[in-house]
Amino acid sequence: MKISIVVTQEEHFKFAQEICDTIESSALLRGTGIAKRTPEYIQKKMSNGDAMIALADGKFAGFCYIESWQHGKFVAHSGLIVHPDYRSLGLAKKIKSKVFDYSLKRYPDAKIFGITTGLAVMKINSDLGYKPVPFSELTTDPSFWAGCKTCTNYQILQSKENKMCLCTGMLYDPKEKQKDPPRHPFNEAVLSRLKKIKQALFLNKILSFGFLS
């Protein structure tokens, strides 16, 4: 089986609905929040060349797209997904690495950032040179945070004035001197424990404000 990862074009529009469905079903399965996107939005990213798709014998295998904020000062990778039929092959890391390298060429002066609750994505980001940072170091563009409105954790984000949520913020600054991997050693046990502590703290906060009533 040969899997190719390429920059998207209009010929890939036909996969937009399947991509959206796969992202949503994966989030439901994991029980995590998600910023939903429409097929039309995905197609716009495809036509602009701001996305990469993995194809296995002509079938959709994986996807990720790029968003830019504050006139290209910040760049984020969103919608990273692998089709269930092609998981456990290391494909997510390959897609992310391709998109990362592509972003450095397309937006050479931008800081690359992301917010995620997934330990697997944190591991990939860490291997690429990202470091965990507070939300204050990420974009202040309100349109980015507005994209979180469809996430199940949006009330938490609002209650903290966009300064904190269940997600972990991670940032890659191309102006920083990078070291050979591991650039920022990833300790899954520590981050998993911190994630559980954060979830417990936010749950208590939610209950105290009556968000779950």
Q: What is the pTM of this model?
A: 0.79
Reported confidence tier of residue 60, pLDDT bands at 50, 70, 90: very high
**Which has more confidence, 104 or 210?**
104
Residue 200 lies in a domain: no
Instruction: Report pLDDT digits (tens) over 93-152.
Output: 999 999 999 999 999 999 999 998 888 888 999 999 999 999 999 999 998 998 888 787
Exposure string for 33-65, b = 16+ CB within 10 A, e = fewer? bbbebebeebbbbbeeebbbbbbbeeebbbbbb
Q: Is residue 131 in a domain?
A: yes
Q: What would the two tokens of residue 170 be?
A: 């991670």
Q: Is residue 188 in a domain?
A: no
In a domain, 194, yes or no: no
Average pLDDT of the residues of the chain = 85
Confidence category of residue 91, pLDDT binned at 50, 70, 90: very high
Residue 204 counted as domain residue: no
> Which residues span the domain enclosing 116?
3-177
Give the tens place of pLDDT for each residue, 150-165.
787 888 888 889 888 8
Residue 182 pLDDT > 80, yes or no?
Answer: no
Tell me the per-residue pLDDT of 183-203, one tens digit each, with 9 for 90 and over.
555 556 655 666 565 556 555
Domain total of the chain: 1
**Domain membership flag for residue 201:** no
Q: Is residue 193 part of a domain?
A: no
**How many CB atoms are closer than 10 A to CB 170?**
24
Read off the CATH number of the domain in which 19 is found: 3.40.630.30
Residue 29: band (very low, low, confident or very high) from pLDDT cuts 50, 70, 90:
confident
